[in-house]
Structure 1
Amino acid sequence: MDAHRKKRGRLDLIQNLAITLLTVSAVVLFAATQLPTLQESGGLHQWLSASPAAGDSAPTQEAAALSAPVRIAVSGTYGRYGSLTLTTADSDEFVLLATRLGEALGSARSFSPCDGEAFNDALSRLSIYYDFLEPLPLSVLAELMALPDMTAATASTCARQLVISAAGDGSVQLLLWDGGSTYLCCGTAITYGDLEDTVSRYEVGNAYFAFDYAESSEAFLQVFSRSLFLTPLPQLPVLTAANSLADTDSLLTKLGFNPYTNSRYMESSGTEVITEGDQTVRLLPEGILRYQGSSKSVLSIDAADEVPTLEEAVRGAGQLLNQLLAGRSGDAALYLQRVQQAGNTTVLRFGYQAGGVPIQFADGTCAAEVVLSGTCVSALTLCFRQYTAEGESSLLLPLKQAIAIAAQQPGKELFLAYTDSGGDTVSAAWLLE
């Protein structure tokens, strides 16, 4: 009898396990077949997405803060120190220079007009020169360098190049150029001793501007006077390049889309189209994401008021793009090229840079563009491109030959940059602009 009961008990246990497994299988099958409809209706989608969304952000690295490439020249009595490969995120190398610029901008009150000659003369004295490659409002530059807020009088002033320079009377001036025809200067609270102490920390002699040799060389005279060169030329690595638009479901989730929607189809061109309400995402086969929303889009940035400040717009757009790009850009990062605001519309354009050196697309397009209607993202374009530094260095044309070629187009700036033509590798080269 005992043996019979034990056998019967084992059979009951096996039957219960089988029933449980069949029940679980039925639930899984039901979810698999009904999930798209349920998610579109909103009920189950909210419950299911809450956990993945939290899990999605927890293990991934927090979106990196936006940084900017910056060319530097520190001028002393016997020469200059220069760098073409710094960014505002290089805390070890840039922190002191950022601090000095913050002191200059923070104490600047009233700018007066000056000219290019005065700017170049300032570079010939004890000075620190900053070139951010693109003209940006001073308030935005302060945001990118994590500096204190600017005064209202200077916040909206645009600058591409700035120089902190010792004046003849022992004071220290700040001069800026907006990348066009405007040159401005003003006094600062920086002392001559503070400037001298900063300059003394750099070993001068490896850098020079085109105007340094303009009197002795016709070729140097022909190029933009503040084209900056280093001796020896920097070793810039060759980059491998690849389309990194993969795992599109996670991207759609980050944009607030349901990746399992039935409103998802493929065009004959290979472009995938996903629609949800008044929002559309197009995923192009060449690795470009195009989002189209409206002034009432769910996708938005944080701001104190209905219309964001420029700093809020830059911060919000940068965070959004970096979240979308997380782990997909390799050794490159986005940097701000332009921000414009008219009424409640803000347009921001971004490029890629690797090691402080800009990467330009051969077709002249930008890496990303964000259009804001108030705080809502009404349009977004992002090129997913991954760049990885190889061991070999780019083969650069010797400067003497590059200058000779550049002299054929007087007034153009000669600089080093990467050009991406859509191939598997990208090398640095001399460019004119």
Structure 2
Amino acid sequence: MCLISELRQQFPILTSKNEDPFIYLDSGATSQKPRQVIEAIDSFYREQNANVHRGLHTLSAEATSAFELAREKIANFLNVQSKEIVWTAGATDSINIIANGIKAQLKQGDVICVSALEHHANIVPWQELCKQKGCILKVLPITKSGILDIKSSVELIFEQKPKIVAISHASNALGNIQPVEKIIEVAHEVEATTVVDGAQAFMHLRPDLRKLNCDFYVFSAHKALGPTGLGVLYGKYDLLNALNPLRFGGEMIKEVSFEQTSFQDAPSKFEAGTPNISGVIGFSAALDFLNSINHNDLLKYEKTLYHYLLTQLNGINGIIIYGDTENNIGTVSFRYKNEHHFDLATLLNGYGIAIRSGHHCTQPLMKSLGIDGTIRVSLAFYNNRDDIDAFIHALKESIDLLEI
């Protein structure tokens, strides 16, 4: 594959010849898609469109083969078994499947731990589970700067002996790479089930799940060059197969009668109905793209770009940066003095700068930090220094306008 700096040319939206400038710095919300992903989806509908697992005809066989090949690819990517991979509608859907599926294994008074840095999708399903089962939600604390307090968190886990510990691999709001290895190790010492939200981390960190040793890991394809509406749920097979299914219908059944229905084993029992076939095939192409990049080169490039952004921002008086800037996936979350983040984002949009403004679906985190939101710049390997220079120029001019 070509050099990291040349990969940008593979993304049509970043190279289209528009008169208006366009600087995309919002990959934490969704990544842009390379040409081969777009073409794979188009090719499926033009040349191969058929349902999977349901027909003996050639098109169905071809579609099924491509669909299951993608499952093998992601299993190899994560260093797990293909039967431990479930296709879902996204990371949020995956967490809901786990929370619903594990419900029968919990009782009143059981403790569930989440960190204070979690996306709402890794808070609300557990809250609802606590309501239904009479469980207790405990929060792993953070420091004043927005970093997980690992010492206090470990003490809390040993003290509370939770049944479930759910934590993000990397914060979507701040970009912090969390010490999940230590949390998983401690959680397992008290026999807790571990759930890791890898939505932000998957593309940047390429986790080895056998090494990580978490019980469940979830992420969304659209944050890793793939299409929207598709996610992955990984689970250690015995734990995965022990979950009760969330949805019922075709494909996930073994035998149906009016008296009784039996279900297939995982992963099939979690994939009721016609799946997102084109999305899976598109994500298969995204995995091919990621596999063509040397991961160490990707990490080195993103880290260099991230530190260049930090240096430029720190040169502007009044900028306040939150989170862990030493262990980060390439996301900067900041405010300018007491100016409202929405006003700054609106002005930046006028310069063609696409960033995120708000609480980033982490209202509890923002409350802990004593703010109502931030400006978030989230980088990917298809960004470059020109993007950052354009952003900094627009930011300085926007600040000048705010202070007139």
Of structures 1 and 2, the larger Rg is shown by 1
Q: Please confirm whether the aligned pair reaches a TM-score higher than 0.5, indicating the same fold.
A: no
TM-score norm. by structure 1 comes to 0.22
Q: Indicate the structure whose relative CO is greater, using CA pairs within 8 Å and at least 6 residues apart.
A: 2
The structure carrying a bigger strand percent of its residues is 1
TM-score, normalised relative to structure 2 = 0.23
